[in-house]
Amino acid sequence: MRPYDVLFEQALTRVDAERIHHAAFRAIRTAAPLTSRAVRVPAAPVRALGLTFPHPLGLAAGFDKNAVGIDGLAALGFGHVEVGTVTGEAQPGNPRPRLFRLTDDRAIVNRMGFNNNGAEVVARRLAAWRAGGGSTVLGVNIGKTKVVPEDEAARDYEKSAGLLAPYADYLVVNVSSPNTPGLRDLQAVEKLEPILAAVRRRADEVRFDDRVPLLVKIAPDLGDDDVLAVADLALATGLDGIIATNTTVSRDGLATPASRVEEVGAGGLSGRPLTQRSEDVVRLLRDRVGPDLTLVGVGGITTVDDARRRLAAGADLLQGYTAFVYEGPLWPRRIVRGLATDG
């Protein structure tokens, strides 16, 4: 058993998950000057979205909601970092407790509710980071402010795009979190299309000298026909990519006792239970969109074999979050080192 496994099982699981997250993130930021000096794992660069990624594996949105630790996370071995989800207005998110571990399933349930500092604050932070030489490949994930009505969603996303696109290497429209009421309804193509158009237009206005790639993040709970409809929309509107997938509201097939699952309650589930469905969605998308659209595979990637299978299914890039929590700070380097041996 690895030292981190002992620490996780004997200590970290005994403390509220959100408190541990904040403590661990502070440690990552503090250790950045040391971890940034670690020997880089040899890896083959990936060309996607018109960008060069040092390798396929990045950190999914949700870990660094407010863009406060990009360099520290990159120093652990992530080839790109996606910050957010950021909303047009600052919001506290849902009441605590709102983050839970299902250790029998190596899974996490969250109902955070897009808690973040808001687009204006995050934009100022990213401007300072860029001015200071920040060069990690950076994705910015934007979502809808909870109090904004559905019929004004496009305006809310447009505000965030205008503030954040100047600093992003790529921009992601998140319409797939289960923790903002009504958000997943926006995945319907007739509602999604005007949001994507508004974000594209505003991003082009503030990045007139170069075009920031635009992606959409979808849920694993979409039916196959709806997944294909999003794929068709992406091709029709000139979208640059799709991130598949976000968390699930399903609780099927869990090893965790039903009483514990009921105690935890609502929220999006991430981790190993998503592995097969997320892989299937990537495969569906690749078969539909052909070779050119960028697909980012996320959901249940824990082992090197998981990563290989997701790439074989058609993903160009990979992201993780839950495995990072369960496997520890050396996990990104293990995955990258394992993939490097395939070359």
CA 278 to chain CA centroid, Å, is 13
Cα-only R_g, the chain: 19
Nearest CA-CA partner of 66 in 45, 87, 50:
87
Nearest CA-CA partner of 326 in 301, 295, 297:
301
* Residue 141 annotated as binding site: yes
Q: What is the DSSP letter of 152?
A: G
* Residue 133 annotated as binding site: no
* Residue 111 annotated as binding site: yes
Residue 210, phi then psi, degrees to nearest 5: -155, 160
Amino acid at 199: V
Q: Residue 76 is inside which H or E element, if any?
A: none
* Residue 62 annotated as binding site: yes
* Residue 179 annotated as binding site: yes
As given in the structure block, the two tokens for residue 35 are: 């971890």
* Residue 217 annotated as binding site: yes
Burial 46-72 (b: 16+ CB within 10 A, else e): bebbebebbbbbbbbbbbbbbbebbbb
Using an 8 Å Cβ cutoff, are 179 and 139 in contact?
no
* Residue 94 annotated as binding site: no
* Residue 322 annotated as binding site: yes
* Residue 103 annotated as binding site: no
* Residue 116 annotated as binding site: no
As given in the structure block, the two tokens for residue 38 are: 């670690």
- If DSSP codes are grouped into helix, strand and coil, which group holds residue 318? strand
* Residue 117 annotated as binding site: no
User: Is 177 part of the annotated catalytic residue set?
Assistant: yes
* Residue 65 annotated as binding site: yes
Bond prior to 322 in cis (omega within 30° of 0): no
Where are the strands (E) in 229-316, listed by range? 241-244, 268-271, 294-298
* Residue 246 annotated as binding site: yes
Where are the strands (E) in 43-114, listed by range? 46-48, 51-53, 57-59, 80-87, 99-102, 107-110
Bond prior to 97 in cis (omega within 30° of 0): yes
* Residue 303 annotated as binding site: no
* Residue 247 annotated as binding site: yes
The residue from 176, 177, 270, 278 that is catalytic is 177
Residue with tokens 């904004």: 148
Q: What is the dihedral of CA 60, 65, 68, 73, to 10 degrees?
A: -20
Residue length, the chain? 343
* Residue 300 annotated as binding site: yes
* Residue 113 annotated as binding site: yes
* Residue 110 annotated as binding site: yes
Measure the CA angle with vertex 119, ends 80 and 207; round to 5°: 65
- Output the known binding site for substrate: 65, 110-114, 174, 179, 246-247
Positions annotated as catalytic residues are 177
- Output the known binding site: 61-65, 85, 110-114, 141, 174, 179, 217, 245-247, 271, 300, 321-322
- Output the known binding site for FMN: 61-65, 85, 141, 174, 217, 245, 271, 300, 321-322
